[in-house]
Amino acid sequence: MAFFVFCTITMGATIEAAAHNGSSDEKTKSFENYARTVTIVTFVITAVIVLMHLNSVTSMFIVGTKLEGFVSFVLAVMWAATVAIVSNPKHGIALDESNGIINGNIYYFSWAGFVCSVTLLISYLRSAFHVDIAGEIKNRSARLTYWAALLASSLVVMGASASIFDEGCANGNETVTFCKRTKLGIGLGAAGTIMSLVIVGMKIATARAPFLIEALFSFLLLISNAVGVSFITAHQGPGAPLGNLYYFSWIAFLSTFMLTASCLEDYNAAKAMNEQSEDVSSPEVQVEHLDNI
């Protein structure tokens, strides 16, 4: 039902935007047609599935079946492409050339639809294959979620900064300060992507990563993202307008903050455990003198 609401709002906003934009660029028109087609198809599919859920007989044909898994997978792929298209400043659908939001309904609800599609796919995997994904992640490390969030946000920061640099700085249309801060965004996104990819790969492959490396990466990324987000989202920065670069720069910074806090918490817990074990291994035995009896 949530996916149905999100796709309905996105569909209406996309159809209206395509009717009023009147772009003469064939490539832009093709992207608008794709976004409109995806939202219409999703609207029909989700409406049918919601109606099937409301009836006990028809729900047997969709709930937990391979058909539901296939539909969830296809919709997740389609909406991943839709988000990439509508949030690209070059296409002018949800963002303008300065990376600012020009259509909030398309921007926010396309992201909401994408998140909802991924959530539905994960829910299906857990119910159909009895896979406790949350439990597996917790067993490997609670910080794996934060590293995955940092990886995703760093990729968006790097891609958005590179797109802005190609549009403005490569043609000499922006100031030196703006271009330097855009390069900073590209560098921070690349560094965050590489470091988080290393840690995520180690955790998936070996179920753990060396604590010192993880703590060092977290601290370095925290300092660099704290400096970077202040410059990138400032008035003269490329992330000043509300858009992908603005939001995901802050998400990357918050992810590094949570990672550093988690590492510090684990360090303090291990230190307290070591102190407690030392106290237990060398207990103070009270001796009562016979003279006092």
Sign of CA dihedral 203, 208, 213, 214: positive
Q: What pLDDT shows up at residue 70?
A: 93
The pLDDT score that the predictor gives to residue 269 is: 83
CA 153 distance to own-chain centroid:
5
Question: Which tokens in the block code for residue 12?
Answer: 């209406």
Say what the pLDDT of residue 293 is: 47
* pLDDT, position 136: 52
- What number of CA atoms fall less than 13 Å from residue 235's CA on the CB side? 0
Which residue, among 16, 126, 117, 131, has the nearest Cα to 76 in the 3D structure?
A: 117
**Regions of the chain with pLDDT less than 70:** 21-25, 98, 129-142, 207-208, 278-293
Q: What is the pLDDT of residue 27?
A: 75
| pLDDT the model gives residue 190 | 95
**CA–CA distance, 257 with 137 (Å, rounded to integer):** 20
